[in-house]
Structure 1
Amino acid sequence: MTIDGKYALVASPTDEAQAADAQLRELHEFVDLKDAECVIALGGDGFMLQTLHQMLADNQIKPIFGMNLGTVGFLMNEWRPHGLEERLSKAKTFSVTPLRMDAVTVDGDTVTSPAINEVSLLRETRQTAKLEVTAGENVVIEELVCDGVIVATPAGSTAYNLSARGPILPMGSNLLALTPISPFRPRRWRGAILPDKTRIAFRVLEPLKRPVSAVADQREVRDVATVEVRLDTSLTLSLMFDPEHALDERIAREQFIA
């Protein structure tokens, strides 16, 4: 197998990623994204999410193989310039279904955005947020007083969700994590694990006094009044990993890291 003429190459603007980009281009020929069968992404997790969102926006969804030239690189493979053809031929592919966030601002504007890792609601000021929480057709919490709340996919459960002490969700579990950030009332509520078909909705109480922003991965919408989150089954993303670095195994191992 040769990658020449089949793959696109994209890189983060950092010096390290740009140097790796130049090194790979000396070894292989690459094509534009629209003509590619697969995309090789050089950077960190943030750049991977940025690239996935750009593919969704351009309706150019292709399998993607990332190599880490960032910090954590949880969604990335190890950076190695040589042996790329063999790695791609042996790569294990995982399908990821993003969330869809529909946010309505206090001014009545509606913003829709996909989220691969999570949708977060966050207080904008020193005052806590007050949120009504609906799961399915039922109001499950009439008033959640907190710094914020997260809806995370399995792929995103080891990111912000884990930092907020949310549960790690195995790939293929068909579950979502609903995790509060610094909950004040109900004080003992630590979140919920829900079937991924569940519609999760939030209504901001006192939105002018206690403004809240909604963030879908990296896209922020400020001063929201209501936010609805659900799995977008019309979209499927494919992430490729070295067999010894597979995403499902990495997520599972995170449960045993002290």
Structure 2
Amino acid sequence: MNGARRALLASPTPQAQAAAVDLRERYEWVPIAEAETVIALGGDGFMLQTLHAQLDRRTPVVPVFGMNLGTVGFLMNEWRSSGLEARLAATRPFKVTPLRMTATTVSGETHVIPAINEVSFLRETRQTAKLEVTLNERVVLPELACDGILVATPAGSTAYNLSAQGPILPLASSLLALTPISPFRPRRWRGAIVPDSARISIRVLDAAKRPVSAVADQREVREVAKVEIAIDRARDLTLLFDPEHALDDRITMEQFIA
């Protein structure tokens, strides 16, 4: 990565903007369309925005090296302004394969949106959501009464999925987590781990009375009738990490945090 054409992106927060000024004075940068590597300054939310912007452009994606100037920064490296070229030369790349959410609304509109962390379903009103869950064309849950449900990738398994008591998935596991949010019935169902080759379909039962929204990372589609979820292997993304801050090790160690 040393000497590669780099683009610099920063979140609008004062800390990230100040860091961007510092880096622009120290190093040479090119427009995003000419970049071979992207440096992203911010938190995990800004990293997701940066990755989604690459997917939206439908051009060849380039590796992203994030530096944390946000809150959690699980997908980011430590912020340091010095030694950037040496750090980039030593980075470890990690492939992240997004999900593809195809959501059909009650009115018949179709939205296709990628998700890097998770696709989540959330009730829109005080009424409990009732969902039918299908796995590879087989109905596995005829009626799940809950506040919602989510499908998480390994990269996203330590985010919303973990907060909902879902399992942590190793980065190279080729698995997806299917995790309910405040399930009421079936009372004993606490989720499932499925191969990432699985085709997952979720249909909203009584959508008029019990409206549900579907959220792909940060993008919401309201009043959905049905959503289909599958891995999109044609759009792999690459994240770069310092060797001592590698993503696979961080995900593993999350299992031992009390």
TM-score bucket (shorter structure): over 0.9
Q: Which residue number in structure 2 is paired with residue 104 of structure 1?
A: 104
1:193, CA displacement in angstroms? 0.1
After TM superposition, where is structure 1 displaced by more than 6 Å over at least 4 residues in a row?
none
Superposed CA deviations along residues 174-225 of structure 1, whole A, max 9, x for unmatched, are: 0000000000000110000000000000010010100000000000000000
**Counterpart of 2:19 in structure 1: which amino acid?**
A
Q: Which residue number in structure 2 is paired with residue 163 of structure 1?
A: 163
The 5 A counterparts of 1:1-258 are: 2-3=2-3, 6-60=5-59, 61-258=61-258
SS state at 2:252 partner: helix
Superposed CA deviations along residues 78-128 of structure 1, whole A, max 9, x for unmatched, are: 000001111100000000110000000000000000000000000000111
CA distance in 2, matches of 1:36, 1:84: 16
Identity over aligned pairs, percent: 69
Number of aligned positions between the proteins: 257
CA distance in 2, matches of 1:128, 1:26: 54
* Runs of at least 5 residues in structure 2 that lack an aligned partner in the other structure: none
**Counterpart of 1:122 in structure 2: which amino acid?**
L
C-alpha contact (below 8 Å) 2:2/2:88 kept by paired residues: no
1:2, CA displacement in angstroms? 4.9
* Runs of at least 5 residues in structure 1 that lack an aligned partner in the other structure: none
CA distance in 1, matches of 2:212, 2:55: 26
1:59, CA displacement in angstroms? 2.2
CA distance in 2, matches of 1:41, 1:169: 25
SS state at 2:251 partner: helix
Over aligned residues, Cα RMSD in angstroms?
0.9
Superposed CA deviations along residues 37-90 of structure 1, whole A, max 9, x for unmatched, are: 100000000000001001111124110000000000000000000011111000
SS state at 1:54 partner: helix
**Counterpart of 2:257 in structure 1: which amino acid?**
I
1:29, CA displacement in angstroms? 1.1
CA distance in 1, matches of 2:105, 2:58: 26
